[in-house]
Amino acid sequence: MTNYKSGHDAEDCSAQYLKSKGFKVLDQNWKTPRCEIDIVAEKGDTVYFVEVKYRKTGQQGSGLEYITPKKITQMQFAAECWIGANKYTGEYELSAIEVSGSAYQITAFLPNIL
């Protein structure tokens, strides 16, 4: 299985997980030439910009360990692009989901990574 395919499968699993927790998925794999957002979801009055981190094994460490200050800056930029493109004026959070193993198990969900 390619990294691209496994990444998409992890995103699909994450979207289903969010739906099961009462979120409405607004966008998945939203892209511009300069940025991308794995999942944009809404719950209540808040939009969540969700980074999905998948690791087939723990050999490379936790997926959440890869959310560095640089990655957070990229996520913020992407969120601002989505906000502008959608004329959104409400509350939002930068979030992350960690997916592990060949069965795509959700091992962590951080609704606010800041």
* Burial grade of 90 (CB within 10 A; 0-12, 13-18, 19 or more): exposed
- The pLDDT assigned to 47 comes to 98
Provide the residue ranges of all domains of the chain, joining segments of one domain with +: 3-110
- The pLDDT assigned to 102 comes to 83
Residue type, 32: T
Return the CATH fold of 3-110: Trna Endonuclease; Chain: A, domain 1 (3.40.1350)
Q: Within 13 A of 81's CA, how many CA atoms are on the CB side? A: 14
**pLDDT tens track, the chain, 114 positions:** 445 566 788 999 999 999 999 999 999 999 999 999 999 999 999 999 999 998 776 556 576 777 889 999 999 999 999 999 999 999 999 999 999 888 899 999 999 998
Terminal-residue alpha carbon distance, the chain? 33
Helix, strand, coil percentages (3-state) for the chain, rounded to 5, are 40, 35, 25
